[in-house]
């Protein structure tokens, strides 16, 4: 099966490979525990598949190797070694995991549990069986690599793991021949790895692996490579620095077993190469100098040592290199001197028969070098100076060394400070290392002590110190006194932070490396005090090292020292520590780190004491410096706590019972400090917490009240970081608590959260938000009867809800208000009927919040809606829609569902109060809508309260300015109407109907109320239609389009047939119309008049039974002063006369005369619009009644008006005779359109007798000739043409009636005058006026005159002057209709002419 799947991975398409790959990986588990023969076959199979081209095959092969076999299985590890060089990253990663297992968090599993690696011999045997060439000797570097470089790297690392593992399990195995053979084979493999093709990384790895082997089995390595000195010398010139140093160290190890002559020859050869005439490559010089130091040091440790002369030559060469070469090579030469100084005191140099100490010779040069920029070179030089001084006894040399080291106190390079600390430790003496450890291994003092990375000095105790000569006590005392004086008198309490940092590094180094020396033990109290003082440093390195120093002091101190240290640290953490040693400030003393408190007034930095004093003086507040210093002291205090925490976390592991008395005061602070804004403080306090507390949850539960009380107090601290940390800590520890745990604190927690949410500092506000969210979740859970006991839920509700309603929602802070609303809504959801006791407060609060929590931008937009072109009503609708989608409205919905009859006693009065005093659109609409929904929910249970509510709501509908509010309150009235008593309902509807006579707001209220009654209480309203339909009908004619539109909608809604509705309620409508006409309101009069118009139009003669009362009401209002819209009365009179003319004519002739008198008097008024209406009315009245007497009564008045109008148009008298009087009487009157007067004359002509017309013939002709004169506009001429046609029509009737033959003489005279006087003027109008409508009307008029003239055969036609003009006009006329009429006129005129000639 395995073979089939692997083969399928090779041949199948890419689309199927993923599925096959998953199946293949899953199959591996089936082979676990398989027989050895099967597993053996699998080994061969997997090794074969690791060489396949398809990456999926290789991946699965390595996955099988790692999952099927254990770590000590050699073939599978070999497969992983091959996979480590794969081109695919995922394959490389899984291969490395098989060789070096890691835990889930990425850390090496060897740190967590012991791993069982294969035996070195077994692993090497398998590798050699796969690559037999590796067993061949590798004397030269020109052979090819047997594996890729990446494979070699993992092979070397894995073999070293096997090597170390085997030695750790059995140290006696070193002497066994089998193990030595394995080591020999491994050395051979490493030599093969250093082939010419090998990478730089591979060279370094292999050479350092040889050093690692040599550190554990030095004799074997020394004897082996004593035979390979030429090969090692080749490696000294390698391009890689690590390789060169490793080769030099190996050469030193090998030289220790060479004969002394051979060693001397090797040293001489190296010296010769360095002193050669030809300039060597840097790599060659570097390798030679490294080798010279190691070889000479190893030879000087032997007996016999190399000759003194050769030793002097060697030292002179190294001194010359230091003085002449670059910093890098000079540092290597100094390092070589240091390696020699580890073994033997450096002798004085013999220069020109005089001896000089080497450090004296090099002092100037070394001073320059350590002031340079090459930090690595400086580190080498400083550590080497420490090496040199181990065996040095000369006070001059020691002073030079100390001076060189102390000069680095202000270096800002941390590694240089650590190197100087290491050198001072060697000068102090008692460092637990040996010369061989430094010379023959990769040992590093700082790495071995796990400096700043773990438990210090534990690994140092495994090595014995370099032997100190008892005779050098004076030397030691002098050095130690100098170091102590420098540290405690100058550096540790310096005004400069750089000095204090250097002092801290050096004191920690000496305490750590030399801590078991009696001299250090005596100084422990002073050292502890110094470290305690430095815990408050702003510099993080200084602070961390000081805390590290505290833990070192605790470890090496006695019982009393440990007790004092624990007390001091506890006092520092709890803020009750003793006052620190004062440091005198200099001008350049840094008080704050640069940028912490901003910039000065001029833009400069603010950090030193001098700069702070200058700012205080510039601001005119010298006392401000004390506030700066107070701030600095607080910063120091905070830093001390953080620093103490670093040390405390290490001490706590060992202090144990000594800390138990302090736990009660420590735990609340430790909880808070774990949430400090400073990540370093968090980490440090977390370390302490883990060290002190085994079960974190149990400890917090036991001290919960104490912790919460402390955190609540600290939430009000003046320090922002304390407030922030307290909020975050509270948010964390109250999660998931039960009521009996947090119930007593619940009332205090909410104010603390809200106070933090309104903090001046943004991060504190954020922490307050987090606490609020946690409290919300906790409170909702505790108040939910489905999740908490009913009594506990009730108590929680009683504690929290009143506070949220009185202080949370009413807060001036937006975030607090919104958070409170959210909590209240969630409480209402979960509490159910338990919320009834708080219902009235909750509902009123939510309703008020609808406006108070609204976005103020919407208010601003509404104020400027008109300017922005936004309709106010639409904007209000938008605001209300948003409010009804808010959490507040959702809460109100929840409240409505739990209201019962008992709740109404408290709720209704509060709602009434809110109706009276509530402000804001959303609140007003909200309370009305809530009442509506409430009534719909409780039904008849609201009946006892309807009267009170209606008395409140009805006036509000009228007073509200907002249309949306009106509608909402109207809806509330409507739903209450359904449940009120009959008398109250009748009164409400009557009061509503009465509103129509009020101002615009009252009218709108009336319409809105009626509409709401119709939609929500239609069954009640149907019984009162006789009261409301008249109101609706009359209000339809209001001047305000909005108001009339509302009533129009109501009318359409209540009437299916307008005529039927009007007939049904005609008596009530007429009564209301009469009342309206009789009121003092002009608007009411006008509406009533328009209503009469509509009645006349719709009902016609059906209105006859009421015409008298209507007509009398109208005519009473005509006399008297004019008011705007009074013309509507005239139009109503006209409409009434038109619709009821038969009844009026039949019943009483006196009424006719009275109507004519009233209308005629109206025609004499000066107001233009009113006169026009009067003339129009007169025209319709005359036409309606057709009374012949109307001509005599009206014509003279109209003639006078024409005369006055003509005077106004021409500016001079154009009429004679009675026209003179017209000028005198009417010259001051307002001009009335002439055509209106002519239209009235036309109506009068229509009803007049021919006799009467003949009597007014002269005046009539004057009117026509004037109207057709050029001084009037074409509209007047149109009216004149109509008058002529009407006159012609009347004459034609007489001509056609044989019974009126007595009037023929008068008619002939009239027609002759029309033909000879008026017809030419008509022709002239056609000629002068360029309007098509005039041409058509004039042509018709002219044709009518000619036909009359033709029909009266007794008239002889004399010379017609306009005949030629008429013919010309016909020819040029463009209007088709006019041209046709003119053609008829021409033909008729020719016909008349022919008849006359006969």
Q: Which pLDDT value is given to residue 1210?
A: 55
Whose tokens are 């005599």? That residue is: 1192
pLDDT band of 1040, cuts 50, 70, 90: confident
Q: Which pLDDT value is given to residue 1299?
A: 59
Closest CA to 385 of 436, 344, 334, 327: 334
Instruction: State which of 592-601, 602-611, 922-931 shows the largest mean pLDDT.
Output: 922-931
* Structure confidence by residue, pLDDT tens digits, 1092-1143: 888 888 888 888 788 788 888 888 888 878 888 888 888 888 888 888 878 7
pLDDT band of 565, cuts 50, 70, 90: low
Residue 1038 and residue 1083: Cα distance in Å, rounded?
Answer: 8
Residue 125 and residue 185: Cα distance in Å, rounded?
Answer: 9
* Structure confidence by residue, pLDDT tens digits, 1286-1342: 777 777 776 666 655 556 667 777 777 777 778 788 888 888 878 888 888 888 888
Average confidence (pLDDT) over 117-145: 79
* Structure confidence by residue, pLDDT tens digits, 268-304: 998 988 887 667 788 899 999 999 999 999 998 888 8
What tokens appear for 444 in the block?
Answer: 């590093």
Residues in contact with 20: Cβ distance below 8 Å, sequence separation at least 6, in sequence order = 5, 8, 9, 12, 56
Residues in contact with 107: Cβ distance below 8 Å, sequence separation at least 6, in sequence order = none
Q: Phi and psi for 1049 in degrees, rounded to 5?
A: -60, -40
Instruction: State which of 344-358, 470-484, 724-738, 1267-1281 shows the largest mean pLDDT.
Output: 724-738
pLDDT band of 6, cuts 50, 70, 90: confident
Q: Are 431 and 425 in contact (CB under 8 A)?
A: yes
pLDDT band of 108, cuts 50, 70, 90: low
Sign of CA dihedral 1298, 1299, 1305, 1306: negative
Closest CA to 119 of 67, 182, 66: 182
* Vertex 784: Cα angle to 779 and 785 (nearest 5): 140
Q: Are 714 and 726 in contact (CB under 8 A)?
A: yes
Cα dihedral value 117, 120, 122, 128, nearest 10: 120
Q: Which pLDDT value is given to residue 755?
A: 93
Instruction: Spell 991-1019 as b/e; 16+ CB within 10 A means b.
Output: ebbebbbeeebbbbbbbbbbbbbbebbee
Residues in contact with 97: Cβ distance below 8 Å, sequence separation at least 6, in sequence order = 66
Residue with the larger pLDDT of the pair 577 and 796: 796
Residues in contact with 320: Cβ distance below 8 Å, sequence separation at least 6, in sequence order = none
The answer on pLDDT for 404 being more than 90 is yes
The answer on pLDDT for 382 being more than 90 is yes
The answer on pLDDT for 1397 being more than 50 is yes
Q: How many CB atoms within 10 Å of residue 791?
A: 10
**What is the H or E stretch that residue 356 is in?**
strand 354-356
Tell me if residue 355 falls in helix, strand or coil. Answer: strand
Q: Which pLDDT value is given to residue 1080?
A: 83
Q: Is 570 exposed, middle or buried (0-12, 13-18, 19+ CB in 10 A)?
A: buried
* Vertex 1263: Cα angle to 1257 and 1264 (nearest 5): 90
The answer on pLDDT for 998 being more than 90 is no
Share of the chain above pLDDT 70, in %: 83
The answer on pLDDT for 725 being more than 50 is yes
Residue with the larger pLDDT of the pair 662 and 1310: 1310
Residue with the larger pLDDT of the pair 857 and 527: 527
Q: Which pLDDT value is given to residue 1143?
A: 77
The answer on pLDDT for 557 being more than 90 is no
* Structure confidence by residue, pLDDT tens digits, 744-754: 998 899 999 99
The secondary structure of 46-107, three-state, reads HHHHCCCCCHHHHHHHHHHHHHHCCCCCHHHHHHHHHHCCCCCHHHHHHHHHHHCCECCCCC
Q: Which pLDDT value is given to residue 603?
A: 45
Instruction: Spell 396-426 as b/e; 16+ CB within 10 A means b.
Output: ebbebbbebbbebbebeeeebbbbbbbbbbb
Residues in contact with 510: Cβ distance below 8 Å, sequence separation at least 6, in sequence order = 421, 424, 425, 428, 483, 520
The answer on pLDDT for 333 being more than 90 is yes
Cα–Cα distances in angstroms (integers) from residue 1146 to residues 1141, 1142, 1363, in the given order: 8, 6, 51
Q: Are 649 and 673 in contact (CB under 8 A)?
A: no
Cα 371 from chain centre: 53
Residues in contact with 1124: Cβ distance below 8 Å, sequence separation at least 6, in sequence order = 1082
Q: Which pLDDT value is given to residue 142?
A: 55
Q: Which pLDDT value is given to residue 109?
A: 52
Q: How many residues does the chain have?
A: 1398
pLDDT band of 424, cuts 50, 70, 90: very high
Sign of CA dihedral 1329, 1332, 1335, 1341: negative
Q: Which pLDDT value is given to residue 899?
A: 85
Instruction: Spell 1277-1293 as b/e; 16+ CB within 10 A means b.
Output: bbbbbbbbbbbbebbbe
Residue 501 and residue 590: Cα distance in Å, rounded?
Answer: 13
Q: Which pLDDT value is given to residue 767?
A: 93
Q: Give the residues across from 355 on adjacent strands.
A: 350
pLDDT band of 1354, cuts 50, 70, 90: low
Estimate the share of the chain in helix, then strand, then coil, as percent rounded to the nearest 5. 75, 0, 25
Task: Tell me the H-state helices in 1186-1317.
Answer: 1189-1210, 1219-1226, 1234-1247, 1250-1255, 1257-1267, 1274-1296, 1304-1313
Residue 67 and residue 513: Cα distance in Å, rounded?
Answer: 46
Residue with the larger pLDDT of the pair 338 and 602: 338
Average pLDDT, the chain: 80
Cα dihedral value 179, 180, 185, 191, nearest 10: 130
Average confidence (pLDDT) over 319-336: 91
Q: Give the residues across from 108 on adjacent strands.
A: 102
Q: Phi and psi for 605 in degrees, rounded to 5?
A: -75, 160
Residues in contact with 1105: Cβ distance below 8 Å, sequence separation at least 6, in sequence order = none
* Structure confidence by residue, pLDDT tens digits, 766-821: 999 999 999 999 988 888 878 888 888 888 888 888 888 888 887 888 888 888 88
Residues in contact with 869: Cβ distance below 8 Å, sequence separation at least 6, in sequence order = none
Whose tokens are 């309260």? That residue is: 945
Average confidence (pLDDT) over 651-675: 68
The answer on pLDDT for 506 being more than 90 is yes
Residue 528 and residue 533: Cα distance in Å, rounded?
Answer: 9
What is the longest distance spanned by two Cα atoms in the chain?
182
Intra-chain end-to-end CA distance of the chain, in Å: 139
Cα dihedral value 628, 629, 634, 638, nearest 10: 100
pLDDT band of 465, cuts 50, 70, 90: low
Cα–Cα distances in angstroms (integers) from residue 427 to residues 189, 382, 397, 432, 755, in the given order: 42, 11, 11, 13, 59
The answer on pLDDT for 462 being more than 50 is no
The secondary structure of 1266-1299, three-state, reads HHCCCCCCHHHHHHHHHHHHHHHHHHHHHHHCHH
What tokens appear for 291 in the block?
Answer: 């080798």
The answer on pLDDT for 216 being more than 90 is no
Q: Give the residues across from 102 on adjacent strands.
A: 108
């Amino acid at each position: 099966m395995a073979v089939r799947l692997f083969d399928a991975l090779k041949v199948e398409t890419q689309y199927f490979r993923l599925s096959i790959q998953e199946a293949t990986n899953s199959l591996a588990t089936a082979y676990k525990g398989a027989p050895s023969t099967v597993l053996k076959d699998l080994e061969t199979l997997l090794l074969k598949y690791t060489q396949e081209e398809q990456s999926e095959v290789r991946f699965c092969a390595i996955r099988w190797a790692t999952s099927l076999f254990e770590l000590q299985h050699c073939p599978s590890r070999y497969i992983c070694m091959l996979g480590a060089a794969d081109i695919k990253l995922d394959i490389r990663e899984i291969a490395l995991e098989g060789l070096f297992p890691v835990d889930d968090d990425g850390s090496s599993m060897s740190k967590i549990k012991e791993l069982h690696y294969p035996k070195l011999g077994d692993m090497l045997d398998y590798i050699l069986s796969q690559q037999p060439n590796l067993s061949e000797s590798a004397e030269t570097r020109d052979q090819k690599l047997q594996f890729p470089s990446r494979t070699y790297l993992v092979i070397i690392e894995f073999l070293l793991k096997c090597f170390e593992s085997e030695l750790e399990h059995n140290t006696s195995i070193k002497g066994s021949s089998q193990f030595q053979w394995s080591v020999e084979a491994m050395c051979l493999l490493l030599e093969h790895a250093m082939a010419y093709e090998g990478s730089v990384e591979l060279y370094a790895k292999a050479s350092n692996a040889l050093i690692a082997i040599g550190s554990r089995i030095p004799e074997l390595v020394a004897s082996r490579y004593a035979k390979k000195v030429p090969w090692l010398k080749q490696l000294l010139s390698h391009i890689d620095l690590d390789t060169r140093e490793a080769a030099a160290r190996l050469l030193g190890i090998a030289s220790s077993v060479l004969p002394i002559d051979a060693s001397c020859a090797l040293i001489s050869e190296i010296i010769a190469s360095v002193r050669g005439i030809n300039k060597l490559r840097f790599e060659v010089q570097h390798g030679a100098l490294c080798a010279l130091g190691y070889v000479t040091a190893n030879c000087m440790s032997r007996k016999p040592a190399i000759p003194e002369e050769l030793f002097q030559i060697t030292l002179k060469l190294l001194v010359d290199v230091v003085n002449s070469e670059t910093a890098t090579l000079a540092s290597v030469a100094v390092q070589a001197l240091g390696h020699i100084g580890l073994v033997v005191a450096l002798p004085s140099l013999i220069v020109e028969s005089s001896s000089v100490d080497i450090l004296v010779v090099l002092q100037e040069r070394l001073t320059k070098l350590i002031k340079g920029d090459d930090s690595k070179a400086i580190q080498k030089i400083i550590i080497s100076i420490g090496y040199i001084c181990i065996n040095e006894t000369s006070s001059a040399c020691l002073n030079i060394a100390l001076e060189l080291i102390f000069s680095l106190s202000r270096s800002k390079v941390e590694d240089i400070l650590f190197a100087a600390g290491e050198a001072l430790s060697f000068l102090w003496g008692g460092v637990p290392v040996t010369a061989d450890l430094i010379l023959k291994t990769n040992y590093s003092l700082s790495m071995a002590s796990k400096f700043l990375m773990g438990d210090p000095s534990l690994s140092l105790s495994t090595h014995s110190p370099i032997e100190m000569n008892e005779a050098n006590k004076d030397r030691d005392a002098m050095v130690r006194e100098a170091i102590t004086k420098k540290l405690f008198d100058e550096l540790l309490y310096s005004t400069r932070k750089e000095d204090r940092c250097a002092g801290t590094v050096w004191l920690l180094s000496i305490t750590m490396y030399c801590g078991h020396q009696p001299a250090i033990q005596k100084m422990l109290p002073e050292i502890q005090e110094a470290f305690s003082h430095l815990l408050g440093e702003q510099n993080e390195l200084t602070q961390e090292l000081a805390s590290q120093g505290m833990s070192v002091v605790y470890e090496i101190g006695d019982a009393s020292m440990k007790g004092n240290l624990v007390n001091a640290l506890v006092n520092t953490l709890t803020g009750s520590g003793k006052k620190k040693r004062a440091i005198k400030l200099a001008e350049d003393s840094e008080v704050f780190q640069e940028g912490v408190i901003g910039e000065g007034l001029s833009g400069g930095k603010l950090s030193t004491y001098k700069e702070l004093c200058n700012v205080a003086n510039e601001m005119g507040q010298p006392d401000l410096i004390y506030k700066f210093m107070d701030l600095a002291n607080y910063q120091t205090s905070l830093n001390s706590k953080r620093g103490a925490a670093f040390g405390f976390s290490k001490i706590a592991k060992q202090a144990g019972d000594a800390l138990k008395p302090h736990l009660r005061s420590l735990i609340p602070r430790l909880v808070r400090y774990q949430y400090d804004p400073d990540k370093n403080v968090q980490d440090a306090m977390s370390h302490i917490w883990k060290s002190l507390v085994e079960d974190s949850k149990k400890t917090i539960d036991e001290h919960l009240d104490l912790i919460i009380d402390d955190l609540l107090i600290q939430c009000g601290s003046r320090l922002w970081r304390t407030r922030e940390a307290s909020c975050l800590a509270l948010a964390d520890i109250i999660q998931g608590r039960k009521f009996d745990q947090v119930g007593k604190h619940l009332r205090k927690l909410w104010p603390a959260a809200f106070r933090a949410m309104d903090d001046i500092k943004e991060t504190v506000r954020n922490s307050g938000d987090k606490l609020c969210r946690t409290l919300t979740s906790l409170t909702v859970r505790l108040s939910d009867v489905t999740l908490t006991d009913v009594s506990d839920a009730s108590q929680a509700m009683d504690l929290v809800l009143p506070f949220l309603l009185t202080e949370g929602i009413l807060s001036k802070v937006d975030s607090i208000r919104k958070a409170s609303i959210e909590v209240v809504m969630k409480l209402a959801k979960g509490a159910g009927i338990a919320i009834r006791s708080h219902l009235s407060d909750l509902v009123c609060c939510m309703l008020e919040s609808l406006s108070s929590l609204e976005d103020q931008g919407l208010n601003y937009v509404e104020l400027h809606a008109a300017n922005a072109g936004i309709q106010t009503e639409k904007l209000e609708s938008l605001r209300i829609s948003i409010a009804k989608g808010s959490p507040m409205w959702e809460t109100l919905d929840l409240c409505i569902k739990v209201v019962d009859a008992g709740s109404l006693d408290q709720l209704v009065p509060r709602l009434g109060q809110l109706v009276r005093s509530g402000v804001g659109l959303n609140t007003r609409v909200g309370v009305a809508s809530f009442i509506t929904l409430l009534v719909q929910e409780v039904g008849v249970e609201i009946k006892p309260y309807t009267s009170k509510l209606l008395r409140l709501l009805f006036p509000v509908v009228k007073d509200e300015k907002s249309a949306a509010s009106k509608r909402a309150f109207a809806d509330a009235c409507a739903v209450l109407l359904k449940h009120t008593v009959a008398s109250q309902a009748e009164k409400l509807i009557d009061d509503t109907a009465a509103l129509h006579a009020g101002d615009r707001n009252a009218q709108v209220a009336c319409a809105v109320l009626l509409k709401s009654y119709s939609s929500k209480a239609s069954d009640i309203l149907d019984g009162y239609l006789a009261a409301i339909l008249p109101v609706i009908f009359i209000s339809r004619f209001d001047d305000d389009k909005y108001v009339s539109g509302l009533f129009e909608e109501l009318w359409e809604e209540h009437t299916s047939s307008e005529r039927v509705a009007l007939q049904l309620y005609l008596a009530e409508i007429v009564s209301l119309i009469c009342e309206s006409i009789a009121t003092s309101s002009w608007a009411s009069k006008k509406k009533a008049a328009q209503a009469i118009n509509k009645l006349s139009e719709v009902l016609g003669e059906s209105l006859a039974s009421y015409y008298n009362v209507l007509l009398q009401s109208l005519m009473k209002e005509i006399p008297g002063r004019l008011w705007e819209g009074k013309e509507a009365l005239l139009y109503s009179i006209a409409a009434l006369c038109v619709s009821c003319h038969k009844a009026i004519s039949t019943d009483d002739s006196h009424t006719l005369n009275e109507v004519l008198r009233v209308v005629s008097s109206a025609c004499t008024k000066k107001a233009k619009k009113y006169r026009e209406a009067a003339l129009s009315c007169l025209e319709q009245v005359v036409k309606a009644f057709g009374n012949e007497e109307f001509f005599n009564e009206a014509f003279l008045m109209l003639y006078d008006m024409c005369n006055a109008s003509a005077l106004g148009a021409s500016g001079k008298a154009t009429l004679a005779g009675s026209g003179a009087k017209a000028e005198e009487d009417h010259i001051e009157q307002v001009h009335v359109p002439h055509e209106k007067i002519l239209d009235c004359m036309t109506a009068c002509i229509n009803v007049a007798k021919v006799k009467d017309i003949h009597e007014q013939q002269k005046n009539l002709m004057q009117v026509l000739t004037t109207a057709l004169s050029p001084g009037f506009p074409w509209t007047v001429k149109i009216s004149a043409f109509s008058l002529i046609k009407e006159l012609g029509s009347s004459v034609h009737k007489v001509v056609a009636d044989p019974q009126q033959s007595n009037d023929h003489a008068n008619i002939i005279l009239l027609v002759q005058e029309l033909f000879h006087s008026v017809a030419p003027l008509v022709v002239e109008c056609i000629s002068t006026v360029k309007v098509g409508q005039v041409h058509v009307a004039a042509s018709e008029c002219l044709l009518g005159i000619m036909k009359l003239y033709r029909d009266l055969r007794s008239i002889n036609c004399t010379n017609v002057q306009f005949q030629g003009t008429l013919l010309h006009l016909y020819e040029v006329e463009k209007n088709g209709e006019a041209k046709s009429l003119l053609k008829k006129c021409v033909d008729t005129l020719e016909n008349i002419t022919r008849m006359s000639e006969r």
